[in-house]
Amino acid sequence: MTETFQFNLKATDGGARLGEITMPRGTIRTPAFMPVGTVGTVKAMYLDQVRDTGADIILGNTYHLMLRPGAERVARLGGLHELIRWKHPILTDSGGFQVMSLSGLRKLDEKGVTFKSHVDGSLHHMSPERSIEIQGLLGSDIQMQLDECVALPAEPKEIERAMELSLRWAERCRVAFGDQPGKAMFGIVQGGDQPELRIRSAEGLKQLDLKGYAVGGLAVGEPQDVMLKMLETTLPVLPFEKPRYLMGVGTPDDMLKSVARGIDMFDCVMPTRSGRHGLAFTRRGKVNIRNARHAEDMRPLDEESSCPAARDYSRAYLHHLVRADEALGGMLLSWNNLNYYQDLMKGIRQAIAEGRFADFYAETQEMWAKGDI
Ligand SMILES: Nc1nc2c(CCNCC3CCCC3)c3[nH]c(NCCc4ccccc4)nc3cc2c(=O)[nH]1
């Protein structure tokens, strides 16, 4: 363990990078998939299981936790790591994105966002400074700046306004965060689908000399090719030796293509949320286990998997559990999906280490295309 936050680039293969983030609470092997913990739990999972799937870090949800049980209360309870019994790194989002998507947004101005709690309707104001304070109270290891993410499509003027506001908020968050050697605050590149705005945002954040950079404002309704084009525009501007985190992404295909362009970290609710709705991710592509064709299929999802959820249960049983809306259905599929996401990242890391990422990329897509026989 190190007392400071360090990112070591171990190898590259084309645009893909193999690295390690070392922090006091542990090491994060990159490219990394970070499971989303919402209200202090990765839904339908025990955190020991989440760790066993290969996760080095999970996400905490600032927006939910500040509303319930409250940031000060979490601090009084010893902080999030103590409360949820996860002793490895935790990354928290700033809450701005969740305010836009979950709460009755009341106002957004230079000072911050004012919103009504979706829990009890109470009024809250979140400034850049308060967001960093909340993330500190939670004990977060990697904290995100408060930003404004614009849904696409949007007017270029609107995208520019939000990008410039987010840049000013990044500076305020950097000042509020101060100097915390074992922790990090990441800036978030905005700029929508406008290359020129993306470059200005990345340049502006680079001046702040942050420990890591997220690419935000994507996976908000744009086609995959637009998302990838924005990565090709943004990533060359960011410091090569700092980690890059693509927020809210994504499907296995999104991640493979984004690693090829230089992304190191991902988070997405997809594997857990879709697992609860009966969608299974496997080496051979997606399986909608609710489909009648699985009703008497005695095969497991993947007989070669190391994960009991993929190897020891028949599709027929999973089909039954999901159709009966039994909790165990969502639990087993979430377990399978998180394990598959981590296996994919493990395969990516090994391929980059061995200089065969292009082959891995092609083989993986071929397996998905074969479909689930
Ligand atoms: N601060 C900030 N956060 C963003 C997020 C939230 C990332 N997950 C945070 C976790 C922390 C707690 C909760 C989530 C995003 N998520 C997405 N897309 C999700 C797309 C999606 C939606 C539903 C299912 C699958 C994919 N785009 C995002 C852009 C931004 C952004 O610019 N700024």
Contacts of 75 (CB under 8 A, 6+ apart): 137, 138, 139
Predicted pLDDT at 235: 98
For residues 113 and 102, what is the distance between their CA atoms, to the nearest angstrom?
13
Q: Length of the chain in residues, anyone?
A: 373
If you average pLDDT over residues 312-332, what whole number do you get?
A: 98
Nearest CA to ligand 1 atom 16: 248
User: Which of ligand 1's atoms lies nearest the C-alpha of 93?
Assistant: 11
* Confidence class for position 164, pLDDT limits 50, 70, 90: very high
Mean pLDDT over 150-177 rounds to 98
Pick the closest to residue 373 from 293, 292, 306, 265 (CA basis).
293
- Give the pLDDT of residue 100: 86
The yes-or-no verdict on residue 345 having pLDDT over 70 is: yes
CA distance 353 to 248: 26
Residue 81 pLDDT exceeds 90: yes
Q: Which pLDDT score, from 0 to 100, does residue 38 have?
A: 81
> Is it the case that residue 64 has pLDDT exceeding 90?
yes
Nearest 10 degrees: CA dihedral of 18, 223, 237, 241? Answer: -10
pTM, two decimals, is: 0.98
Cβ < 6 A, ligand 1 pocket: 36, 38, 59, 61, 93-94, 96-97, 144, 147, 149, 188, 216-220, 247-248, 267-270, 273
Q: Which atom of ligand 1 is nearest to the CA of 247?
A: 7
Q: What pLDDT score was predicted for residue 5? A: 98
Residue 372, pLDDT above cutoff 80: no
The rounded radius of gyration (Å) of the Cα atoms in the chain is 20
Q: For 87-112, what is each residue's pLDDT tens digit?
A: 999 999 999 999 988 877 789 999 99
Show the 3-state SS of 22-72.
EECCEEEEECEEECECCCCCCCCCCHHHHHHCCCCCEEECHHHHHHCCCHH
The residues annotated with a catalytic role in the active site are 93, 267
Q: What angle do CA 20, 25, 26 make, to 5 degrees?
A: 30
**d(Cα 48, Cα 360) in Å, to the nearest integer?**
29
Residue identifier of the C-alpha nearest atom 30 of ligand 1: 216
Distances (CA, A) of 243 to 10, 20, 60, 174, 214: 12, 9, 19, 17, 8
pLDDT value at position 71? 98
| Cα 247 to ligand 1 centre (Å) | 5
d(CA 261, CA 229): 10
Say how far apart CA 147 and CA 145 lie, in whole Å: 6
Neighbours of 179 (CB within 10 A): 5
Alpha carbon of 168 to those of 61, 112, 147, 261, 289: distances in Å?
23, 11, 9, 27, 47
Residue nearest to atom 13 of ligand 1 (CA): 61
- The average pLDDT across 165-177 equals 98
Residue-wise pLDDT tens digits, 213-255: 999 999 999 999 999 999 999 999 999 999 999 999 999 999 9
Across the range 279-289, mean pLDDT stands at: 97
Structure tokens, 13: 């293969």
Are 314 and 298 contacting, i.e. CB atoms less than 8 angstroms apart?
yes
- Cβ atoms 216, 149 nearer than 8 A: yes
pLDDT number for residue 1? 59
* Whether the predicted pLDDT of 39 surpasses 90: no
Long-range contacts of 289-293 (CB under 8 A, 24+ apart): 289/315, 289/318, 289/319, 289/322, 289/333, 290/319, 290/322, 290/323, 291/319
Q: Cα(316) to centroid of ligand 1, in Å? A: 33
User: What percentage of the chain has pLDDT greater than the value 70?
Assistant: 99
40 pLDDT band (50/70/90 cuts)?
confident
CA–CA separation, 43 vs 282, rounded Å?
20
CB atoms within 10 A of CB 161: 13
Among 346, 341, 339, which Cα is nearest to 313's? Answer: 339
Ligand 1 atom having least distance to the Cα of 59:
11
